[in-house]
Structure 1
Amino acid sequence: MGLKAFLSKPLAAFVVRGVNKWKFNGVESQEKVFRQLLDTAKDTSFGKDHNFSKVKTYDEFKNQVPIRDYEGLRPYVDRVVHGEEDVLWPGKPQYFAKTSGTTSGVKYIPISKESMPEHIKAARNALLTYIRETGKADFVDGKMIFLQGSPVLDSKHGISVGRLSGIVAHHVPNYLQKNRLPSYETNCMEDWEAKVDKIVDETIQEDMRLISGIPPWVQMYFDRLIQKSDGKKISSIFKNFSLFVYGGVNFEPYRARLEESIGRKIDSIETYPASEGFIAYQDSQSEKGLLLLVNSGIFYEFIPADEFYNDNPTRISLADVVLNKNYVLILNTNAGLWGYNIGDTVKFVSLNPYKIVVTGRIKHYISAFGEHVIGEEVESALMAAAEKYQVKITEFTVAPQVNPERGELPYHEWFIEFSEQPSDLESFRQEVDERLQQKNVYYKDLIEGKILQPLLIRSVKQDTFVNYMRRQGKLGGQNKLPRLSNDRKIADEIVANTNE
């Protein structure tokens, strides 16, 4: 055991003791965060407009602060972007995290001097919690790679602007800098495919022990490594590779293929970072769910997903959540986001401590006939069928076909890129459909009522989705393919390019 690994264990014990002080006191921690946020922001433009100085209770807060998405908050954000101070949060942001919105174009998410350390602390604590639970610390003595966006930052009115992962790269602790790959120059490359090739060149001879990134782009990195090493598994290339850290998408659809590429099972840590704040991380290898970070400068609210589009949906704090109910996640942050709909849906799997699973995106669903099929249901049905038929899936997306050309009943069309095809695609299709009916009673009723026909699967060739993301200019980094759409924009584009 090296010196860093040795020292990490007492540090992990110290940090976990601190985590345990708030871990089992979620509601009390949230009350404290709520008061701190309001008190700090009461003299900002937003605070004055919404009477923060008079707000004493959560019910009063709800009456003053409506739920907004980025477009709803944009008049305030635009003032901040143009250099105005004390608008959403005291002073100016330390950074803007630049993201791509489907309706808003480029979005500028403020990161304050108070919120930035929470991103770094949460990422650190996820690793230290793992060390404390498992006793495994050798990975800190080897090389680590974080597949991320470019750390090159622009500037708007004196505020640095970049992708979240690129911003975070400037805050990696000094004790990890010597272990970290790729090089700064390679990280700055914008062409994702050229960047991956360069990363392969820089890492293939190194002692890589921790690899982190969004699963589909890590898979691309693995594919290039295997190709460069004449078919060797990742575990043969990196003999000490022991920990995979990921976030952004559900790992399960990618797990089988990634583990096949690695050549063995490997420990993993799921994290839930967003430009708006670091929300949760996996704190146990044996328990389900991500620990909700209740004392990290974010006050959380929740709206039942099935009420979200109602005129007056239920809006609750952590004190009133229940297990296994799908909620839209609302954030109030120490960077000045208020009543902010981040767009994600979550479900609680534990209330002591508060642990969540991410179930999808509120805008990513299929409800062409009122079935409201969501991402969690689609992924669960597909993974169960894949396990039963022992197939491996590279990527997939689902869209409704409302007006089939031949006049038959409408259906859900699944575009699946298999790395290993099922021997009987028709039986596999039936299995997926049956599993989805078990998950969603409305979908089942539509099938039984002859309103919809069972789903159809279109098996697409290798690299279909990589090519789609390339055409969209969204290859690599933090970009993710939508798994569900309530229209056929993605589906029709894929069909139009099936012969590429």
Structure 2
Amino acid sequence: MIGTVLTWAVQRRLASIEHFRRHPHEVQQQLYRQLLHTARATDWGRRYGYADAPSAREFAQRVPVSSYEELYPQLERVLLGEADVLWPGRVQWFAKSSGTTNARSKYIPVTREALHEGHYRAGRDMTALATLHYPAHNVLGGKTLSLGGTHGPNPLRPEAPDSRAGDISAVIMQHLPAWAEFIRTPPLELALLDEWEDKIERIARHVMQADVRVLAGVPTWMIVLLRRVRELAGTDDLHAVWPRLGLFLHGAVAFGPYRELFRQLIPSPQMHYLEIYNASEGYLALQDEPDSEDLLLLLNHGIYYEFLPQSQWGEAEPQAIGLEQVELGRTYALLISTNAGLWRYKIGDTVRFTSLAPYRIRICGRTKHFLNAFGEEVVIEHADAALAAACHATGTTVGDYTAAPIYFAEGPGSSRGSHQWLIEFTRPPADPAHFTAVLDNTLRQLNSDYDAKRHRDLALTAPTLTVAPAGTFGRWLASRGKLGGQHKVPRLSNSRELLDEILSQLNN
């Protein structure tokens, strides 16, 4: 009965989804005007004349494009408790993110509007689409097992008990509306534990007794939990524990390398998977069609979008384009202006449009999170696809990985380089050389720049595979205090700093 009522309630969002699918530019312009009007009396709004109601073109001319570091002087004021800096009022909650390109923690404001008009609205949209596509599962008739992080004091105001910072998943769970908390498991006192090993054990024992129908979280950590549940239950099939389990809502990392692992854990054709694009900065996109991996760009969820063509990424004053100017197949860096007070903010992610009616995207990687030491332009999208192909060809599964260049500073090979892949397998390949060859050949097929550099080994020689012992990446994350939650290992880097650090831990 409760599931039926909740299904009816959330499906009311389907009309709104269809509206912004059909009228994307009108919806974005209305949101743009609303954002500027709301922030007109803030310090930032006064500085850039928001009260003048500037056009989108004038807005782009007046307001600078900002990275986190460039916006930090204003964000620091917000963290210190100053009101009306970037958004009206005083912000009390912050999403803590290590980012994926360096170790510095970022603290992103999470306003009430960002939660309710962004994260929760999109959550209802995702739930509505799930009930539409999979009515037989009655996903709202049972529990959603959500695995997230934790939160703690605001680092700049530790004496303020009402100001907190933590994983965006923890911030979201802490403020969930009653109906959403009712269908979620485990309870908050377990979900927000900060000691990861104890957290996994206690959650696993608790959720075994629940009617779990949906999983939600980061694949990396969900696998750890599911394996423990399977061990405790003494079964090879999680449907023996949760017979009505039918859906996994996943995000934060590409799912390709994990797909086979989940098929092993849940070997049933009734299990389905939908991707979400939810970041500390907001809820940006979701998979609205089960048969396509493309993500529908969310246009009335508190985020106004601009896009930087690849040619502008390194420019001092980059020129962005609007939604109406994007083209299919091209890679863009995202600029967002949000109802949390981020203005023309470089989120760091890159996307490629696969459809313009409606606007659908695929996540390519990061503006600073790619391999381009020799002009090869390998992005996450290429790396994950090549790994998936290598796993399929060799019957292996990958738990985690990172890759970096090998530079030749001197000697006869000084003009050539290579890539080193450090991979932690959950099922190692019987023939590592074959795995590496498929990885290399797939990258050549996907990326013409990589293929050109690999031609006859002229600029780039074959990649080197280094197999990491089980637990390598978990121990590295733990050593940096980033085990669990939404923390993840940076995948690609033009620097060897990260890879060498992990290798040095292996050797000690």
Go from structure 1 to structure 2 and tell me whether the alpha carbon gap of 1:104 and 1:32 turns closer, same or farther (over 3 Å shift): farther
Aligned partner of residue 363 in structure 2, secondary structure:
strand
| 1:171 aligned partner, one-letter code | H
Deviation at 1:97, TM superposition (A): 2.0
Gaps of 5+ in 1: none
Deviation at 1:230, TM superposition (A): 3.1
| 2:454 aligned partner, one-letter code | I
| 1:468 aligned partner, one-letter code | W
Go from structure 1 to structure 2 and tell me whether the alpha carbon gap of 1:346 and 1:450 turns closer, same or farther (over 3 Å shift): same
Deviation at 1:153, TM superposition (A): 5.8
| 1:241 aligned partner, one-letter code | L
- Asked if 1:77 corresponds to 2:75, the answer is yes
| 2:478 aligned partner, one-letter code | R
Go from structure 1 to structure 2 and tell me whether the alpha carbon gap of 1:13 and 1:188 turns closer, same or farther (over 3 Å shift): closer
Aligned partner of residue 373 in structure 1, secondary structure:
coil
Aligned partner of residue 353 in structure 2, secondary structure:
strand
Q: How do residues 63-462 of structure 1 correspond to structure 2 at under 5 angstroms?
A: 63-101=61-99, 105-118=104-117, 119-150=119-150, 156=157, 159-265=163-269, 266-403=271-408, 409-448=416-455, 450-462=458-470
The answer to whether the 8 Å contact 1:233/1:262 transfers is yes
**What whole-Å deviation, never above 9, does each CA across 1:102-141 have from its counterpart, x for those lacking one?**
6683332112222220211111210111112332452222
Greater Cα shift, 218-227 or 403-412: 403-412
The answer to whether the 8 Å contact 1:4/1:141 transfers is yes
Greater Cα shift, 48-57 or 215-224: 48-57
Gaps of 5+ in 2: none
| 1:87 aligned partner, one-letter code | V
RMSD: 2.2
TM-score by length of 2: 0.92
Q: Aligned equivalents of 1:104 and 1:379: distance in 2?
A: 22
**2:14 aligns to what?**
16
Deviation at 1:317, TM superposition (A): 1.1
**2:32 aligns to what?**
34
Q: Aligned equivalents of 1:258 and 1:137: distance in 2?
A: 18
Aligned length: 498
Q: Aligned equivalents of 1:75 and 1:171: distance in 2?
A: 28
Greater Cα shift, 234-243 or 402-411: 402-411
Aligned partner of residue 365 in structure 1, secondary structure:
coil
**What whole-Å deviation, never above 9, does each CA across 1:123-162 have from its counterpart, x for those lacking one?**
1210111112332452222222110112566594554433
Q: Aligned equivalents of 1:22 and 1:387: distance in 2?
A: 38
Deviation at 1:94, TM superposition (A): 4.7
| 1:114 aligned partner, one-letter code | E
Q: Aligned equivalents of 1:421 and 1:106: distance in 2?
A: 33
Aligned partner of residue 320 in structure 2, secondary structure:
coil
The answer to whether the 8 Å contact 2:214/2:248 transfers is yes
Go from structure 1 to structure 2 and tell me whether the alpha carbon gap of 1:424 and 1:188 turns closer, same or farther (over 3 Å shift): closer
Deviation at 1:315, TM superposition (A): 0.7
Q: Aligned equivalents of 1:404 and 1:460: distance in 2?
A: 26
Q: Aligned equivalents of 1:354 and 1:455: distance in 2?
A: 36
Q: Aligned equivalents of 2:228 and 2:172: distance in 1?
A: 26
| 2:138 aligned partner, one-letter code | D
Q: Aligned equivalents of 2:311 and 2:399: distance in 1?
A: 30
**What whole-Å deviation, never above 9, does each CA across 1:322-358 have from its counterpart, x for those lacking one?**
1121111111011111010111111111111111111
TM-score by length of 1: 0.94
| 1:33 aligned partner, one-letter code | L
The answer to whether the 8 Å contact 1:248/1:273 transfers is yes
Q: Aligned equivalents of 1:95 and 1:292: distance in 2?
A: 25
Aligned partner of residue 403 in structure 2, secondary structure:
strand
Deviation at 1:407, TM superposition (A): 7.1
**1:478 aligns to what?**
486
| 2:176 aligned partner, one-letter code | V
Deviation at 1:399, TM superposition (A): 0.8
Q: Aligned equivalents of 2:409 and 2:470: distance in 1?
A: 26
Q: Aligned equivalents of 2:409 and 2:400: distance in 1?
A: 24
Q: Aligned equivalents of 2:467 and 2:357: distance in 1?
A: 43
Deviation at 1:405, TM superposition (A): 10
Deviation at 1:176, TM superposition (A): 3.8
Percent of pairs with identical residues: 34
Q: Aligned equivalents of 1:9 and 1:443: distance in 2?
A: 48
Go from structure 1 to structure 2 and tell me whether the alpha carbon gap of 1:56 and 1:405 turns closer, same or farther (over 3 Å shift): closer
Greater Cα shift, 390-399 or 96-105: 96-105
Of 47, 59, 65, which aligns to 2:57?
59
Q: Aligned equivalents of 2:180 and 2:113: distance in 1?
A: 23
- Asked if 1:496 corresponds to 2:500, the answer is no
Aligned partner of residue 10 in structure 1, secondary structure:
helix
The answer to whether the 8 Å contact 2:386/2:443 transfers is yes
| 1:106 aligned partner, one-letter code | S
| 2:16 aligned partner, one-letter code | G
Deviation at 1:196, TM superposition (A): 0.2
The answer to whether the 8 Å contact 1:6/1:137 transfers is no
Q: Aligned equivalents of 2:85 and 2:142: distance in 1?
A: 44
Q: Aligned equivalents of 1:63 and 1:305: distance in 2?
A: 19
Q: Aligned equivalents of 2:410 and 2:103: distance in 1?
A: 34
The answer to whether the 8 Å contact 2:143/2:213 transfers is yes
